[in-house]
Structure 1
């Protein structure tokens, strides 16, 4: 259930990590089998396990 919203994430979409606000906004690079690669402004490229972390879409940047 927690990965329902993550499953909708597509390359190019903007997201934030719910526990790492200091990473800034990230752009989804890929979303393959629940492994979401995101390029964050302050942290760089990070692979997120979508079954453990619910990324927060950003619509107002």
Structure 2
């Protein structure tokens, strides 16, 4: 099941094949291209037809 269409700006996600990228925040979701700003990889554009990002439902870490 492709969850890409349900992802909205502000949501937190992980990339299933790049765990070292850390948690990313969705910046935009336009036409199946999802821009995500990852902790350790910066801004990446993910094509939702190819990669199913994993939603993260955990509170942000305290700083």
Give the root-mean-square deviation of aligned CA atoms: 0.8
How many residues are aligned here?
59
Structure 2: which 5+ runs fail to align?
none
- Cα distance in structure 2, aligned partners of 1:20 and 1:6: 17
Q: 1:43 maps to what in 2?
A: 41
Structure 1: which 5+ runs fail to align?
none
Q: 2:31 maps to what in 1?
A: 33
Q: Deviations for 1:22-43, whole angstroms, at most 9, x for unmatched residues?
A: 0000000000000000000000
TM-score, with normalisation over the residues of structure 2?
0.90
Specify the structure having the higher radius of gyration (Cα).
Answer: 2
Q: 1:55 maps to what in 2?
A: 53
